[in-house]
Each structure stands twice: as structure tokens, then as C-alpha cells.
Amino acid sequence: MKDVRRSFCDFLQLNNILCGIDEPDGKVVLAGLMELLKKHFPDLDVEGAKREVESREALFPTMVAPGLAVPHARISGLAEPLTAVACIPSGCDFGGSSPAKVMVLLLTPVDDPNLHLQLLSALAKAFEEDSVTEKLSRAATPNEFLSFFSDGSSDIPDFLTAKDLMEPFPALLQETDSLLDAIGKFATTRSEELPVIDNTGDLRGVLSLTDLLEYSLPAHLLWLEDLSPMYRLQPFSDMLKTAGETKVADVMREEFIRAETGDPAVKLAKVFLMEKVPRLLIVDESGKPAGVVTLEHFSAKLFWD
């Protein structure tokens, strides 16, 4: 029997949608959504859920997009996710750089990280265009809010993939860039590794801070017992003298660990464990760089996001 595809809306009841809210304080709006859930789910420990959400917000604010706030927490004892929505046409202050005009409260079972992340992924997809948030903030009725998702835009993916977990690259390097250019990008982005592309956007390799260190201090120098001749960091000075003429292509690595956007999340976990790498470069169907998943970000999504 074929599985029935689930949607974010399957976990949202009409009586848990508030429209036309006029309240400038986001904390008051959040408290109202908590009380709304308590009204329809009497067994919910509102105070405990509120503490979980607020403590998480203090560490990781969930203004996930302009105008969209998704306060969420993983709650012990829940059998199914609980969701409530507030539409705030004039917006409210919820700690973001712009007012929150749609607030989606999401409480999920603590022992179901897959469903938790599936719902967050479905929400991110449904609200990926800023115009969606603005439009839904002005929904006059709960039915109008829900009807927007009738086209399947909030369908929950069958399983999480690298695309659901990856982050955009802070910068890309061209193979014709100089090492001086690369150093500037590393400095401004605080990145540890960047992909290298050619003039058509095809992936050619990667360059990391470790690669720069190894280029400056090659293996034959590391075998020396007496490092005193290098106490003044002469090898690095020598590298910097020619950094403007040395091309990234001369230093980059062409062999590296990668994953594809469609790879299931569990495959990424396997690669992290088997290959002992701190990050995975993600490529799209054509092999072009699409994003990166770090072990830190992957673990955050899996265990506490």
C-alpha cells in the first residue's frame, strides 16, 4: 500500500490559527499561542513548554526569514506535534531585524528528530519567498491561511536530505584567483575551507586553511628536530611574498569528500563517522557546488535545534 504523503497542515487545526492579531510584543503573541494549544490540548504542560521554547530562543533566535518567526522546542511526552499560528499584519517584535508578521509555534516529541526536522524543512520550503509571509500575515480567516497550502507547498519530505541540512557557502574561489585573494576571503568570511570553481561554475577543487599552512610549511620541514631557524615564521613570510602571483589552482586539492543534495541525512552521518571530516561539500545534480554541511551544524539539527 502506498504511503499517504503528509503535509505541515496535517498537524495544524483551524482552531489553532489566529488571524488579525494586533500586538506589538512577540512574547505576548507567543504566550497567546501557548494558551491556545492548552485550550485544545488540556494535557499540555504549558509552563514547561514555554520554558523550553524561551530558553531555546535565548540561545538560538528563530526568526528564520524576514517576517517569519518559528519558535519551537522538543517536548517530552508528546505523541504528535502540536502547532499554532498567529497572523500579525502590523508585525510584532520578536528579536529579529524585522517585525514578525507570521508566528508558527511548533512543539514536537523529543524522541522524533526526523519528524521535527521534516516539519521545519517543510516550513522553510513553504515560506521561502518573502511575499508568502506578507500575504499570509493578512489572511482574514483560518481557512484562508490553510488554503494557501492546498497546492502541496508544505508537503513533508519522505526523508531528510543534504539539501535540507546544507548552508550556503560564504564565498567561492576561482581557480585563477591568487593566494592573496583567497587569504582575503578566508579572513572576511572566517571560513576554514572554500570550494574552487572555474569560469563556468564547475567545481575544480577545494582550498582550506590547512592547505595554506602545508603549502607554507611543507612536510620536509616538519621532520626537522630543531625548529629554531623558523621561530620568526620565515616560511610563512616567504609564502606571503609570492601570494599575489601564486594561483589557487596551484595549491588547491582536487581530491576531497563530497555528498550530493539528494543524499539522505543518515548517509552524511555515516561519512562524518567513517571519514572523520568536519564538513562535507554538497554538490547538485550537475556537480556544481550547492552548499556545505558541517559536523557542528548537522549535530545541532539532529540533537537540539
Rounded CA-CA distance 295/229 in Å is: 37
Residue 81 has pLDDT above 60, yes or no: yes
Q: Where are the domains positioned within the chain?
A: 8-156, 173-303
What is the average per-residue pLDDT within 44-52? Answer: 89
- pTM tops 0.75: no
Provide the sign of the torsion angle of the four alpha carbons 9, 15, 17, 20, taken in this order: positive
Nearest of 35, 8, 6, 21 to residue 126 by alpha carbon: 8
Span 109-128, mean pLDDT? Answer: 83
For the segment 252-262, the average pLDDT, to the nearest whole number, is 93
- Element (DSSP H or E) covering residue 73: strand 72-75
- Residue 95 to residue 6: CA distance in whole angstroms: 32
Q: Which fold has domain 8-156?
A: Mannitol-specific EII; Chain A (3.40.930)
Quick check: helix, strand or coil at residue 76? coil
Q: What is the dihedral of CA 24, 28, 30, 34, to 10 degrees?
A: -150
What is the pLDDT at residue 246? Answer: 94
pLDDT for the residue 304:
75
Q: For domain 173-303, which architecture applies?
A: Roll (3.10)
Predicted confidence band of residue 2 (pLDDT cuts 50, 70, 90): very low
Has residue 264 got a pLDDT over 90? yes
39-43, 113-117, 225-229: least confident range: 225-229
Alpha carbons 193 and 282: distance in angstroms, whole number: 13
Q: What per-residue confidence (pLDDT) applies to 1?
A: 37
Q: Which three cell numbers stand for residue 203?
A: 567545481
pLDDT at 86 over 50: yes
Q: Note the Cα 131 to chain centre separation in Å.
A: 21
What gap in Å lies between CA 107 and CA 83, rounded to an integer?
6
Cα–Cα distance, 108 to 77 (Å, whole number)? 9
Q: How many helices (H) and strands (E) are present in the chain, helices listed first?
A: 12, 12
pLDDT-based confidence at 259, cuts 50/70/90? very high
- Say whether pLDDT at 238 is over 80: yes
State the average pLDDT for the chain: 88
Q: Which is more confidently placed, 217 or 268? A: 268
The reply to whether 8-156 and 173-303 are identical in fold is no
Summarised one tens digit per residue, pLDDT across range 154-175 is 677 778 899 988 999 989 999 9
Mean pLDDT within 196-209: 93
